[in-house]
Amino acid sequence: MAPHANGNGKAKSPARVRAAPEPKENIFLFYPNMIGYSRIVLAVASLYYMPLHPRTCSILYSISCLLDALDGYAARYFHQSTKFGAVLDMVTDRCTTACLLVFLGSAFPRWSIVFQMLISLDLASHYMHMYATLSMGGSDQSHKKIADGRPWIMKVYYSNNKVLFTFCLFNELFFIALYLLSFSSPILSPSLLQTSPSTLQPGSPAAPKPSVLFTSPWSAGAMEMARANKMDSQIPWTLAGISVLFMLIKQYINVIQLIEASKWLAEGDVEERRKLGLPKKKKAA
C-alpha cells in the first residue's frame, strides 16, 4: 500500500496496529488453589484445638476435608485445573491425615505401630503413584488417569469422583471417630500418673484438677485426665462402625497403588537400560 500524503505534502505511513499483550495468569490465585489454602488454615486450626477440644477440632477438620470436593469442582467449572493445584491437594490430604494419626498414636500407645504403618503406607503409596505418573506418563498425564491393564479397583477409584470422595470421606471419618473415642474413655491409665508423692490433703475432692496431680498441664497424664469422660462414646462408636469397612478398602487400594507404581517404575527402568545396551553381554573367552 502506498503511503498517504498529509497537508504538507509529506508521506504519512499508516499507523501500526499493536497486538494487545496477552494477560498473564497467576496460578497461585486460581479459585481452587484459594480453596486449598483455606483448607490448610482450617487444618492448622484443628491441630491447635486437637489436644483438649474434640468438638471444635472435629468440626474444623471435617470442614477442611469436605472442601476437598469443592476445590475439584471449582477447578473443572472455571477450567483452572493445574499441576500445582493437584500437588497442593494431595500434599494437604497427606499432611492432615498424618497429623491426625500422630495424635492417635499418642492417644492409643499400644496401637501406635499401627498408626505409624498407616502413615507410612499413605505417604509412600501416593508419592510413588504421583512420581510414576509424572515420570512415566508424560507431562500431560494426570495421576487420576489410570491406563488400561492396571487393576480395576484403581480405575474405579480414580475415574469416578463420587467413589473417590466417598472412600476418602469415610476413611477420614473413621479416624475422627477414633479421635473422639480418646475423649470418652472412662478409665485413666495409672501408668501415666507420676510416682512422686501426692499433694492431696484429707478432704480433697474425688476428682481433683490435673494441676494438683501433675506439675505440667501439658504432660501426657494431665492431658489424658483432661480428656477422660468428656463425651459419650455412643456416637463415636457408631461412626467407627459405619466407616471401618471403607477405611480397610482404602488401605487395600493404597497397597495396590504402591505395588502398581513400583511395577510401572521398574518397567521404565528396564526400557531405559535396554536403550543403553544394558546389561552388556560378556565376551566369550
Tell me how far apart the terminal alpha carbons of the chain are, to the nearest angstrom.
80
Position 61: which residue type? Y
Instruction: State the catalytic residue, choosing from 93, 122, 140, 232.
Output: 93
Asked if 257 contacts 264 with a C-beta cutoff of 8 angstroms, the reply is no
Active site residue 68: no
Asked if 118 contacts 175 with a C-beta cutoff of 8 angstroms, the reply is no
Q: For the chain, where are the alpha helices, taking DSSP H only?
A: 31-49, 54-77, 83-107, 112-136, 152-159, 161-181, 210-213, 220-227, 234-275
With a CB cutoff of 8 Å and minimum separation 6, the contacts of 83 are none
Give the integer Cα–Cα distance in Å for 50 and 44: 10
Catalytic residue list: 93
